Amino acid sequence: MNTPDLILDNGKITTLLRSQPTVAAIAIKDGKIIDMGSSHEITSLAGPKTQIIDLKGKRVIPGLNDSHTHLIRGGLYYNMELRWEGVPSVADALRLLQEQAQRTPSPQWVRVVGGWSEFQFAERRMPTLEEINAAAPDTPVFILHLYGRALLNKAALRVLGFDHNTPNPPGVKLSMISKGIPLVCWWQNRLL
């Protein structure tokens, strides 16, 4: 009855159990682990139809699923995204932004994505909106800052049709700066 469909043998299998963090083999039936232990213990459970895979000492980590890889976006827009992680100065970041804007075809936007922080820059500050507008005067720019807010240049605001009369969209607060023109928007974290 409990004859496994599959046995993974001769490996370093992480169990996530404190009492037995690593085993050499696991038995699987109907997609579920039914037993684990030494190679001898688990292979003795095999029936005539059990598939046995020799792991040849390789590590198995069950239960991990990286579902946050952005494969589609990354594949479609890789050449139009800019990452500032590890960039040492605001001047370097603005130079990269200008270069990216020059090679981004219209009507596409330049998107600065990732986990950069103003504290990585030698100047210990964010680029100003004037600097961003000078680096990319005609290409819409969206600069994501710490996954909680974004800076938009004047070209982006023109595309969006945002002006001083624009109401806050649901879940977003537009910050009115620079003579009443909304240049920065913050996402409000809400549980729906």
Q: Is there a single domain that holds both residue 126 and residue 149?
A: yes
Q: Is there a single domain that holds both residue 53 and residue 12?
A: yes
Tens-digit pLDDT string for the chain (192 aa): 689 999 999 999 999 899 999 999 999 999 999 999 999 999 999 999 999 999 999 999 876 666 677 777 777 777 778 999 999 999 999 999 999 999 998 899 999 987 899 999 999 999 988 999 999 999 999 998 887 788 889 999 899 888 778 887 777 777 755 544 445 555 444 432
Question: Domain span at residue 21?
Answer: 6-60
Q: Is there a single domain that holds both residue 82 and residue 152?
A: yes
Structure tokens at 116: 């950069």
Q: Is there a single domain that holds both residue 46 and residue 98?
A: no
Which pLDDT belongs to residue 190? 40
